């Protein structure tokens, strides 16, 4: 069975999507692993970065996104098919990376998200509200070595659907006070979800992103994260620290055609950080 990792933080803009995509691309391209990225975030950023807006729009109309999966539960329909929704060999690198697949999200999930909260639990039967995704993808999981789930910046029902198929979760943070503030909440809420479902979901660690070494607050916060590894409940601070760089930001533009990963991420920064991070992640999950 695959190693399943949720990438999560209650805060937006910390690099969840960018890190998910870089990890997925490097695992598939450099490590020859079969990888599925599940875009659970209604912001749909990972989807658009991996397939572009046009393909997304066509698939969205046909109900081939995770929005349809949740809409089916609301409207008592069964239009969604994971088989049809999963897109093979995605990314703007080399016209698509072999072994990197995507289960896309939809911007329309934003509105649906609010409605889902009000669905009576009975509507989900025989499913439970948190197992909707699990039931939909269960047959596809064995085909992958690694599954990366790009989570929305909350711990709502949609995020919980991703967490309960995960054995691990990774917390990207900007090493500043506001971005690290929510870590204890994430850890304790996921611990509770683990306890109530009987599913072990382990913290993989915190990865510092958008690090500015001239910024004294960033260096202080990094030291604090390292010192608090044990009692913070997040298991570890990754050795790899990803600097703030315009190249990382530009890499999310699908319309920029890239021949290979160096073309996308450079030879030095941030390429070497993303490859080092990937190696750390693979070592810790033993994929
Ligand atoms: N290391 C980095 N350096 C500079 N900009 C970054 C870096 N990582 C992410 N970004 C940019 O920061 C913004 C938020 O990143 P994103 O991955 O979308 O975060 P999230 O998914 O947590 O909301 C995006 O514009 C992205 O391009
Ligand atoms: Mg995101």
Compute, in angstroms, the gap from residue 126 CA to the centroid of ligand 2. 31
What is the pTM for the complete model shown?
0.97
Percentage, residues of the chain above pLDDT 70: 97
Ligand with an atom nearest the CA of residue 14: 1
Whole-angstrom distance, CA of residue 233 vs CA of residue 204: 10
> Looking at residues 20-47, what average pLDDT do you find?
98
Residue 73's pLDDT is 87
- The tens digit of pLDDT for each residue in 134-171 reads 999 999 999 999 999 999 999 999 999 999 999 999 99
Compute, in angstroms, the gap from residue 125 CA to the centroid of ligand 2. 30
Q: Is the pLDDT of residue 127 over 80?
A: no
Q: Is the pLDDT of residue 45 over 70?
A: yes
Whole-angstrom distance, CA of residue 148 vs CA of residue 165: 11
Q: Which distant-in-sequence residues (6+ apart) come within 8 Å of 186 by Cβ?
A: 8, 9, 10, 155, 169, 171
Q: Which CATH architecture has domain 3-285?
A: 3-Layer(aba) Sandwich (3.40)
Compute, in angstroms, the gap from residue 8 CA to the centroid of ligand 2. 9
> Could you give the angle at the alpha carbon of 63 between the alpha carbons of 2 and 118, nearest 5°?
85
Whole-angstrom distance, CA of residue 86 vs CA of residue 280: 27
Higher pLDDT, 197 or 124: 197
Query: Which atom of ligand 1 is found nearest the CA of 209?
Result: 1
Q: Is the pLDDT of residue 287 over 90?
A: no
Residue 114's pLDDT is 79
Ligand 1 within 6 A of CB of 154? no
The mean pLDDT of the chain is 95
- The tens digit of pLDDT for each residue in 206-220 reads 999 999 999 999 999
Whole-angstrom distance, CA of residue 80 vs CA of residue 188: 33
Higher pLDDT, 287 or 67: 67
Ligand 1 within 6 A of CB of 210? yes
Compute, in angstroms, the gap from residue 251 CA to the centroid of ligand 1. 10
Whole-angstrom distance, CA of residue 39 vs CA of residue 32: 21
> Looking at residues 40-48, what average pLDDT do you find?
97
């Amino acid at each position: 069975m695959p190693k399943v990792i949720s990438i999560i933080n209650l805060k937006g803009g910390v690099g969840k999507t960018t890190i998910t995509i870089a990890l997925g691309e490097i695992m598939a391209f450099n490590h020859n692993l079969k990888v599925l990225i599940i875009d659970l975030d209604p912001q749909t950023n990972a989807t658009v970065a991996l397939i572009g807006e046009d393909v997304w729009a066509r698939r969205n109309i046909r109900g081939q996104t995770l929005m349809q999966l949740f809409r089916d539960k609301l409207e008592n329909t069964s239009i969604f098919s994971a088989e049809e929704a999963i897109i093979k060999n995605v990314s703007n690198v080399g016209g698509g990376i072999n072994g990197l697949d995507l289960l896309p999200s939809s911007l329309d999930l934003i509105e649906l998200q609010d409605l889902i909260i009000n669905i009576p639990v009975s509507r989900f039967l025989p499913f439970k509200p948190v197992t909707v995704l699990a039931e939909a993808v269960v047959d596809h999981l064995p085909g992958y070595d690694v599954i990366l789930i790009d989570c929305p910046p909350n711990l709502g029902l949609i995020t919980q659907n991703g967490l309960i198929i995960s054995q691990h979760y990774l917390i990207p943070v900007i090493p500043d006070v506001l971005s690290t503030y929510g870590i204890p909440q994430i850890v304790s809420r996921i611990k509770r979800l683990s306890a109530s479902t009987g599913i072990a979901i382990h913290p993989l660690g915190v990865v510092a992103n958008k690090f500015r070494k001239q910024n004294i607050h960033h260096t202080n916060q990094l030291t604090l994260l390292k010192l608090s590894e044990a009692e913070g409940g997040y298991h570890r601070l990754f050795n790899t620290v990803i600097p703030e760089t315009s190249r990382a930001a530009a890499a999310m533009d699908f319309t920029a055609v890239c021949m290979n990963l160096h073309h996308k991420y450079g030879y030095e920064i941030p390429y070497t950080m993303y490859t080092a991070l990937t190696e750390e992640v693979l070592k810790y999950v033993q994929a």
